[in-house]
Amino acid sequence: MSIRYSPPSPEDLRELKNRLGYTGEQMADLFGLAGNNQWRKYTGGVEPRPMSLPMLFLAGAMLNRTATVDQVFDWCRSVGAVIDPDTAGESQQ
């Protein structure tokens, strides 16, 4: 099964940072980035980088280490991501 994914917008990510009350350095740590300068590449500039699903999932799992996979996906959606399983071609059981 594949997953259809659209990342949260830079505005969504800035809002998450504000909601958490984190510094740019703390956000970088949460997302597994080298530092604040790397975090800013996802939240600003002329062409911000799209946040990958593995990075977003990691952050959600780090914030709630007892969450199930589905709960982390729900968190990702609450941040602004669109995540849908692509069930085309799967057999019905």
Q: Is the pTM of this model over 0.85?
A: yes
Angle (deg, nearest 10), helices 10-20 and 69-79: 110
Task: Indicate the domain borders of the chain.
Answer: 2-86
Ramachandran area for residue 77 (φ above 0: left; ψ -120 to 50: alpha; else beta): alpha
Which pLDDT score, from 0 to 100, does residue 2 have? Answer: 82
> pLDDT for 18-48, tens place per residue?
999 999 999 999 999 999 999 999 999 889 9
**11 has pLDDT over 50:** yes
> pLDDT for 53-91, tens place per residue?
999 999 999 999 999 999 999 999 999 999 997 655 454
Q: Tell which CATH classification among 3.40.50, 1.10.260, 2.60.40, 3.10.450 matches the domain 2-86.
A: 1.10.260
**92 has pLDDT over 60:** no
